Structure 1
């Protein structure tokens, strides 16, 4: 039986733990970030926090096999790629937590989750629930679910150009330098987009359709969280180029300069030869045109967000 079915209302896991052990199914990417949270260290920390963990290495076992185990809480231990792989497969009504082990950890940061797993773990039993939206894309009758963003333009191109082999803060810094180089040289392209049925054609350097508000090398692109069932849309027009470059030079503090809106449905018609990014995966389609329909969805997933105060 999954946790939310055993809990009443907004009861915390701490209240439940007084009566029975908290069964935590942990899906771990041991290669995420610096790789400094191996199974034995992670298991010991979770036990010390009052959880009974069952840890699955998703490099060795498919996540779907672990998700059938009885759980009061699912824990995704990894970076944004791990969240993208696991979150859409979680059962409806599931409570889950993110232990951010990657470099950018955009999804966790968008929800105010401490970037240090050692600070997150002791607070899990007192964490509050938050709705966890996803982004659903339809193209040619096929459907894809994203946890972070769909991207076109400068950020997408820069992720292919960034120097590989780096991790942590070095990876983020290199990603931002790559974006600045790409943005300086980018030629605006005309896109046709429909936002909640209202069509427009506009010249853009960059477009990001976001599930949570952050993307790329730890960039806050939206000033506020995306509401459940909505899409956060961040677009960069030619007049935004210089402000965005200055923002990157100033260490990308605060929300990025650009045009921001939220929508229930977004339709994008674009040149099919341009690269298109689904979460962190860049794809190239050699055809004249692509048409994508995006919708924000609320899949009834409950992300646990620990408070930033002292651990209980």
Structure 2
């Protein structure tokens, strides 16, 4: 019997009910299961080596919380695969991995019997003072600005994840029209890119924020980033594009400026910066970003 450690980020008032349902569904498929609420208990951090795989029941931020602990481990420690039960709003990470958040939890759990571990590269970001990592993306301008703006918005009237995603696109469109462009300079593979941008993102997955696809061809195991930026002169066109998404039109795509790089150096004067879903103060420039290959493994279905 494979032993799982279940790390759950419960919503308000639903912990006991969801906990029992999850444990029952997992054990019915023949897995051993030890449950932890990551909001209440840190003791799971010392239990990881007892598990054959980790189950993360939550959204992208919950996965990052778990991965923060995994990257602290010694390189000689065993690599423990992660299975995701997507329970967040956007679930950008699981969507890139081909994990359908519309499927029933029981289907996800059943699929783990035949799932394979998929290699996952991490991004490392560093300067003279700091070293950190990101799983999904790191960037400047609109999306860190959006994180800050959404924290200040009243979302009490939003009933579903779909409502919240549409509302976030509405806020994003407003920011596109009003945001101050930032001067940027970056170098990758001997090429220099510079100008004024509204958005500059170093992508390790395909989408960001309210499921906005910035790099549909991004792969988590290809050893390169997909670097994407929207120049100041694209402001009106980008706002119109976001408007079409709000209206529910089929995504016609947008002419992002984009290229691949395994390592790059960035200097940007944006007031806002993020690592995954965390808003941070801009790190002291210049920054070096590098791919670290095969750091993690996620369980994915071969059909996904």
* Contact kept? 1:148, 1:210, Cα under 8 Å: yes
Question: Is 1:143 matched up with 2:131?
Answer: yes
Segments of structure 2 that go 5 or more residues without pairing to the other structure are 71-76
Q: Is the 8 A contact 1:229 1:295 kept in 2?
A: no
Partner of 1:40: 20
Change (3 A) 1:303 1:249: same
2:291 aligns with: 296
Aligned CA distance change for structure 1 residues 188 and 125 (closer, same or farther; 3 Å): same
Q: CA RMSD in A?
A: 2.6
1:305 correspondence with 2:304: no
In structure 2, the partner of 1:284 is: 281
**C-alpha distance after superposition, 1:68-110 (max 9, x if no partner):** 3x22211111101011111243355322211111000010011
* 1:266 aligned residue (264, 280, 284): 264
Q: 1:48 to 1:308 in 2, by over 3 A?
A: farther
Residues 136, 295 of structure 1: 8 Å contact kept: yes
1:207 paired residue number: 200
For structure 1, the 5+ residue unaligned runs are 1-20
1:134 corresponds to: 122
* C-alpha separation in 1, matches of 2:295 and 2:87: 25
Which deviations, in whole Å up to 9, do the C-alpha atoms of 1:157-209 show, x marking residues without a partner?
12211224456222211211111100012232220111234333222110111
Whether the 8 Å contact between 1:192 and 1:199 is mirrored in structure 2 is: yes
Cα separation, 1, equivalents of 2:15 and 2:215: 30
Q: TM-score, normalised by structure 2?
A: 0.84
1:275-299 Cα deviation digits (max 9, x unpaired):
11111121235x9x52211111124
Partner residue of 2:97 out of 111, 126, 129 = 111
Q: Are the structure 2 counterparts of residues 247 and 269 from structure 1 closer, same or farther at C-alpha, using a change threshold of 3 Å?
A: same
Q: Where does residue 13 of structure 1 map in the other structure?
A: none
Whole-angstrom distance in 1 between the partners of 2:198 and 2:94: 27
Shift in alpha-carbon separation, 1:61–1:191, aligned structure 2, 3 A: same
Return the alpha-carbon distance in structure 2 between the equivalents of residues 260 and 52 of structure 1. Answer: 45
**Alignment correspondent of 2:47:** 66
Q: Cα gap change, 1:224/1:35 in structure 2, threshold over 3 Å: closer, same or farther?
A: farther
My pick for the range that moved more, 231-240 or 252-261, is 252-261
Normalised TM-score (structure 1): 0.82
How many residues end up aligned between the 2 structures? 285
- Pair 1:275-2:261 in alignment: no
Residue pair 1:123, 1:307 contacting (<8 A) in 2 also: no
User: How do residues 179-258 of structure 1 correspond to structure 2 at under 5 angstroms?
Assistant: 179-226=172-219, 227-251=221-245, 253-254=250-251, 256-258=254-256
Per-residue CA deviations over 1:108-153 (Å, capped at 9, x if unaligned) read 0111111145231221111133111111111233211111111211
Q: CA deviation at 1:239?
A: 4.1
2-structure distance, mates of 1:196, 1:164: 44
Tell me the secondary structure at the aligned position of residue 251 of structure 1: helix
The 8 Å contact of residues 84 and 148 in structure 1, kept in 2 or not, is answered as: no
Report the Cα distance in structure 2 between the residues aligned to 1:164 and 1:229, rounded to whole angstroms: 40
Q: Which residue of 2 aligns with 1:97?
A: 83
CA–CA separation in structure 2 for the residues paired with 1:122 and 1:243? 44
Taking the TM superposition and a 5 Å limit, the aligned residue runs for 1:17-32 are 21-31=1-11
Distance 2:78 2:128 in 1: 27
Q: Distance in 2 between matches of 1:37 and 1:234?
A: 42
Give 3-state SS (helix, strand or coil) of 2:51's partner. Answer: coil
Asked if 1 retains the 8 angstrom alpha-carbon contact of 2:223 and 2:262, the reply is yes
Change (3 A) 1:36 1:171: farther
Q: Please report how far the alpha carbon of residue 300 of structure 1 lies from its aligned counterpart in structure 2 after TM superposition.
A: 3.7
Runs of 4+ in 1 over 4 A off after TM superposition: 34-37, 252-256
